[in-house]
């Protein structure tokens, strides 16, 4: 039997991408295609008094300028409309009325025969506003923050009394700046208006069925009149979970003009919707003389918009990652006159674990205990928030293997005690955690008479390797070469799939693919049993193996039958089967999660304050890793992004204008080649028969969790200075 799972397989979609044959949302076209360009507001809050569009309309080639004054009627615009990833509240509706809710809000769409014409005409539009006072400072709004609607683990014990009486304790506050997704592919929607009035939409999205249903609901279109096709996505990181406003505007223009319309947001406009929210985290943490936690108090104020309550799981990790008898959590939202924040890689965890792991490091030093040893002493194999055991948790092995690979035993405990010439050397570490989820999903498998296998599901591939791992699953089950298997995705007409996010695509869609293939195998075996004097008559699926287009008996390998012969005798060129997979009930008795241990070395120039992350080791326990190459790449990408979060990424907000000032790739800093040095990934062996039929937990998120804290802890070890404000820039080192 051919084994592909757990192997280092090159991406099956790689050749299409590197040769430019992979088409993205803004690259599809048709003969009558026209272009829309968005005009954005220049105030943060207020009313539109007037919009002068005449000069734009006079430009040859301009077809229309759509504003709130002349937009077509929209079925659900007079009610709140929603999508699969919507936050609580009254969701933003582009061109709804004269109200301005945030700076850079879309206020008009210029539609023209060419992009250049639309862009130029947009510059001629004049908008008069009645500006109103706005608030864009989370610290100023801290006192007006309200309870987040997301349920949290209940408090346990008496955390405040336990902290007050504890022999060893710390109190600290941590701040993290807003971050922006900045995927390579900018958000785009190409809406093809077909002769029958139906729409074929190419949208940058992490969920084609979400976008299709969203458009159908808003514009009152019958089911089946909107088909969303997105075979490739050039990165998203959460920015494509919610349909963005260019999709609504492109569809609105296409329906109004009865023309195909494309709208692509500029890089600057990519900063006009969503980001990782700014947060303030207040910790009080305490332990006894032996280093066992006795109190955890974690209070968070997170940013949200004035019209929605965006919530993340920021505080929940503090209730479950370590054993502690007394825990109190609080999570509040400060409404600002900005667009609603968005999920961004490992939403909630990357922030909450940064605060928790920074506080754990501070408490370890207060107790004079090695930071790794301190975490080991507080390890728990039962989730204290639910009192459920973990389905698997090889975190201790992550600590062991990561520390051994990194050389942690050679670390001196005291800050400023390790040097390399004029550079201060610091070693820091942190724990990472992310939930291992599975959502209902469906898939279809079709075996053809030529021996090829086509498997499909309406999931996405945002660069994570979905095409590859699903091909591996199907190819291994049928014992076929990878080139004989095709996986289809990114089409809303395919079997139902959840949004691609949260590291649950492999567990969800992969389980459905496995089940669809096994259902098809059973159908083929049943047909083989019907043959005259069939040796397969009394056999079960576990008694046979599929390989190279044949069904073979395990106990008698010479007994085999060609699948092509079965199809010929059945008079059909193919056979298909569909299946739906859902989490099994057994999962309810366990907590399922991925874990990691991150070890970091930094070098800080004592004269200039510059910081270099010279080494990093990340040991990951994520169940069965089905595809090693994309899997390792996912972790490496998360580690690099963690460097950016820790030291570079920061949305610079002019609070007087409530406008992001570094809305471009030149001034929004993130790691480049010179910032990335020795990165090492360890996949710790972990068996889990509870989490899903594949035993895979997903690894898209876990790679970034804990990295920023490990870097911050290493900077403290190098310099003796605790910097609690991300990003850690050289001015803060010198401050």
Question: Which are the catalytic amino acids?
Answer: 701
Helix (H/G/I), strand (E/B), else coil: 62: strand
Q: How far apart are CA 581 and CA 584, in angstroms?
A: 9
Structure tokens at 692: 């899903």
Helix (H/G/I), strand (E/B), else coil: 545: strand
DSSP states of 265-277: --TTGGGSS--BP
Please enumerate in sequence order all residues whose Cβ is within 8 A of that of 603, keeping only pairs 6 or more positions apart, or say none: 420, 423, 424, 425, 426, 611, 612, 614, 718
Closest by CA to 477, choosing from 420, 522, 429, 423, is 522
- β-partners of residue 714 are none
Any idea what the Cα angle at residue 518 is, between residues 514 and 522, rounded to 5°?
170
Any idea what the Cα angle at residue 600 is, between residues 599 and 604, rounded to 5°?
160
Buried b (16+ CB within 10 A) or exposed e, 49-76: eebebeebeebeebbbbbbbeebeebee
The answer to whether the CB of 302 falls within 8 A of the CB of 312 is yes
Closest by CA to 714, choosing from 564, 612, 608, is 612
The answer to whether the CB of 42 falls within 8 A of the CB of 127 is yes
| Angstrom distances, CA of residue 583 to CA of 12, 438, 511, 526 | 28, 6, 9, 27
Structure tokens at 153: 């683990």
Q: Kindly report whether the peptide bond that precedes residue 727 is cis, defined as omega within 30 degrees of 0.
A: yes
Q: How far apart are CA 318 and CA 571, in angstroms?
A: 61
Q: What is the dihedral of CA 615, 616, 617, 623, to 10 degrees?
A: -160
- β-partners of residue 309 are 88
């Amino acid at each position: 039997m051919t084994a592909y799972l757990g192997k280092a397989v090159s991406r099956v979609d790689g050749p299409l991408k590197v040769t430019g044959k992979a088409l993205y949302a803004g690259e599809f076209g048709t003969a009558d295609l026209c272009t829309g360009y968005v005009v954005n507001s220049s105030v943060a809050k207020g009313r539109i008094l007037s919009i002068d569009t005449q000069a734009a309309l006079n430009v040859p080639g301009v077809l229309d300028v759509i504003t709130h004054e002349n937009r077509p009627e929209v079925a659900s615009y007079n009610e709140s409309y929603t999508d699969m990833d919507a936050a609580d509240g009254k969701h933003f509706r582009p061109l709804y009325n004269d109200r301005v809710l945030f700076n850079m809000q879309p206020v008009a769409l210029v539609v023209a025969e060419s992009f250049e014409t639309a862009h130029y005409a947009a510059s001629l539009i004049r908008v008069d506003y009645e500006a109103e006072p706005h608030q864009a400072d989370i610290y100023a709004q801290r006192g007006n923050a309200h309870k987040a609607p997301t349920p949290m683990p209940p408090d346990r014990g008496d955390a405040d009394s336990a902290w007050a009486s504890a022999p060893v304790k710390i109190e600290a506050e941590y701040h993290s700046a807003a971050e922006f997704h900045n995927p390579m592919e900018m958000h785009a929607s190409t809406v093809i208006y077909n002769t029958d009035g139906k729409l074929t939409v190419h949208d940058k999205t992490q969920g084609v069925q979400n976008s299709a249903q969203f458009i159908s609901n808003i514009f009152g279109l019958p089911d089946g009149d909107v088909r969303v096709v997105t075979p490739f996505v050039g990165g998203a990181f959460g920015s494509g979970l919610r349909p963005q406003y260019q999709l609504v505007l492109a569809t609105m223009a296409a329906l109004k003009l009865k023309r195909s319309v494309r709208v692509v947001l500029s890089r600057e406009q990519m900063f006009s919707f969503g980001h990782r929210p700014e947060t303030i985290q207040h910790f009080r943490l305490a332990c006894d003389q032996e280093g066992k936690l006795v109190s955890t108090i974690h209070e968070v104020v997170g940013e949200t918009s004035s019209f929605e309550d965006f919530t993340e799981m920021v505080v929940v990790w503090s209730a479950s990652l370590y054993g502690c008898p007394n825990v109190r959590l609080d999570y509040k939202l400060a409404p600002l006159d900005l667009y609603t924040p968005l999920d961004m890689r490992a939403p909630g965890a990357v922030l909450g674990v940064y605060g928790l792991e920074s506080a754990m490091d501070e408490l370890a030093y207060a107790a004079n205990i090695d930071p790794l040893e301190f975490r080991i002493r507080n390890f728990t194999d039962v989730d204290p928030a639910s009192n459920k055991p973990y389905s698997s948790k090889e975190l201790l092995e992550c600590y062991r293997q990561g520390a051994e690979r990194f050389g942690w035993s050679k670390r001196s405990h005291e800050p400023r005690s390790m040097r390399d010439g004029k550079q201060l050397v610091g070693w820091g570490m942190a724990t990472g955690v992310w939930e291992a989820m599975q959502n209902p999903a469906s898939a279809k498998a079709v075996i053809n008479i030529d021996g090829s296998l086509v498997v499909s599901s309406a999931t996405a591939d945002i660069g994570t390797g979905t095409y590859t791992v699903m091909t591996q699953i199907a190819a291994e089950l049928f014992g076929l070469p990878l080139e004989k298997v095709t996986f289809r995705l990114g089409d809303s007409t395919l079997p139902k799939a959840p949004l691609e996010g949260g590291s649950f695509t492999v567990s969800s869609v992969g389980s459905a693919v496995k089940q669809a293939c096994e259902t098809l195998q059973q159908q083929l075996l049943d047909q083989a049993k019907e043959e005259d004097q069939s040796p397969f008559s009394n056999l079960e699926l576990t008694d046979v193996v599929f390989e190279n287009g044949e069904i073979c008996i395990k106990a008698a390998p010479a007994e085999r039958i060609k699948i092509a012969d079965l199809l010929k005798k059945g008079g059909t060129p193919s056979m298909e089967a569909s299946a739906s997979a859902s989490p099994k009930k057994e999962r309810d008795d366990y907590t399922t999660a991925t874990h990691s241990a991150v070890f970091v070395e930094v070098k800080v120039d004592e004269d200039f304050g510059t910081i270099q992350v010279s080494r990093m080791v990340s040991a990951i326990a994520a169940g069965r890793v089905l595809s090693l190459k994309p899997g390792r790449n996912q972790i490496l990408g998360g580690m690099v992004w963690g460097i950016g979060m820790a030291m570079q990424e920061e949305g610079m907000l002019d609070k007087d204008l409530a406008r992001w000032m570094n809305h471009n790739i030149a001034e929004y800093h993130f790691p480049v080649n010179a910032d990335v040095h020795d990165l090492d990934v360890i996949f710790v062996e972990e068996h889990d028969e509870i989490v899903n039929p594949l035993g895979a937990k997903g690894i898209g998120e876990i790679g970034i969790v804990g990295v920023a804290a490990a870097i911050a802890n290493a900077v403290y070890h190098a310099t003796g200075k605790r910097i609690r404000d991300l990003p850690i820039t050289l001015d803060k080192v010198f401050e």
